[in-house]
Amino acid sequence: MPRRPTRRRKKELMRRAELRRRNELVGQAVTLLMAGAAAMLVLCKEYYKQYLIRAPYESNYFTRRMFISFVIDLDEHCHNLLRMNVTCFCQFIEIIKRAGTPEDTIHCKVEEQVAIFLHIVAHNQRVRTIRTCARCSGATVSTYFNKVLKAILGMQDFFIKPQTGETPSQIEGNSRWMPYFKDCIGAIDGRYIRAKVPIEEKPSYFCRKHFIAQNILPACDFDLKFTYVLAGWEGSASDSRVLADTLTRVDKIPLIPGKFYLVDDGYPLLRHFVTPHRKTAYHLNEWRGRRPRTSNELFNHRHSSCRNIIERTFGVLKKHFNILNEEPMYNFDKQIDIFLACCCIHNHIRQFMPNDSIVEAVDNFLAAQLLVEAVEDEDIPRDPPQSRDDVKRAGEEIRNTITTQMWNDFSRRH
């Protein structure tokens, strides 16, 4: 029979087993500590790379600094991305800087902030796309966008100025319009811009062209610049109702004694708003291949060709800023602000880039449109606002005087 271990031997075996367990626990603890230390080193390294080192970001885009350098390197690059040439962009930056906001930050200069804003409105880019280009977070892109938007709106009176009342050079140099429209200072026409509104408000913003929109009332001069803009009306509102609002607002449309705007017959005939003759051919596509046969037809033909300036102005605006052509991604109040900001930038571009190639593209498009399709009929009966009889009679007198003088001169020459 084997001998049973003695008491001393049992204690020795127990002590050795205890040592083994302690050694195993210590080994496991050391392993865990080393793994944790390694993980911490990896995390620290990634944090250092991402937040402490501004290493070049190699992709199809550039870092902010490289992006702005690329943009202002050539007029072609600047125009394609920001809708301005380099000179026009630099002038715009100077104007923004004089306003005092936004300001340079340690991470982004004013030039970069404005470039981000222009890139978004020109190409309707989303934040997740721009943040890759600008190499910053989506929240930072939104912050810069809102700062620039606020700065432009704060200078709205600087960019959008009313007419002085002088006869436009474009009318003085056109024998078909001079002297009949020598007192014309611009044109007005209602326009629809796609809108995004809460579902309960969609019926009131559903326009007659069968989409959700806000009704815009812009006034423009013959340099393709906006002289007044009212935005935010429901798409279902009639043009005459919107015009009535512009005449009673605090910031109402500027009216000059003895001067008038050209409008279509969706508006009332008033002293400062001259409409075409009703129940008479008006749109330019209706005159192909024939001459006016009556005084009313002659007036309508020249009225339409002169008022076409609003078509050109709005066409250039939408060509410049693709954000106005698609359903917006912002709340309704910001949609109004963005439209007004685009009008301000458009006026700046017209001042420093009068020979913009986009104008020629719009003119070619409108000319082709007249050849291949009819202009959409806008002579829909609307309820004109209540006006005093003397104001209406003054408008009729202006229109009848121009019509008679125009027809007499036309008859003598033909």
Is 89 part of a structural domain of the chain?
A: yes
The half-sphere exposure of 23 on its side-chain side, counting CA atoms within 13 A, is: 6
Contact predicate 343/229, CB 8 Å: yes
Q: What is the pLDDT of residue 92?
A: 93
Is 5 part of a structural domain of the chain?
A: no
Same domain, 221 and 336: yes
Q: What is the pLDDT of residue 378?
A: 37
Intervals of the chain under pLDDT 70? 1-5, 50-72, 133-135, 282-290, 366-391, 414
Same domain, 339 and 293: yes
Q: What is the pLDDT of residue 146?
A: 92
The half-sphere exposure of 143 on its side-chain side, counting CA atoms within 13 A, is: 11
Same domain, 106 and 208: no
Contact predicate 382/266, CB 8 Å: yes
Is 79 part of a structural domain of the chain?
A: yes
In DSSP terms, which residues pair with 328 in a beta bridge?
A: none
pLDDT in tens, 297-323: 888 888 888 998 999 999 999 999 999
Same domain, 229 and 104: no
The count of domains in the chain is: 2
Same domain, 167 and 264: yes
The CA angle 400-406-409, to the nearest 5 degrees, is: 140
Q: What is the pLDDT of residue 380?
A: 33
Rounded distance, CA 69 to CA 27, Å?
A: 57
Same domain, 250 and 140: no
Q: What is the pLDDT of residue 330?
A: 87
Q: What is the pLDDT of residue 261?
A: 93
Is 111 part of a structural domain of the chain?
A: yes
What residue numbers bound the domain in which 333 lies?
159-413
Same domain, 95 and 184: no
Strand pairing category for 213-220 and 226-234: antiparallel
Rounded distance, CA 367 to CA 361, Å?
A: 10
Contact predicate 183/168, CB 8 Å: no
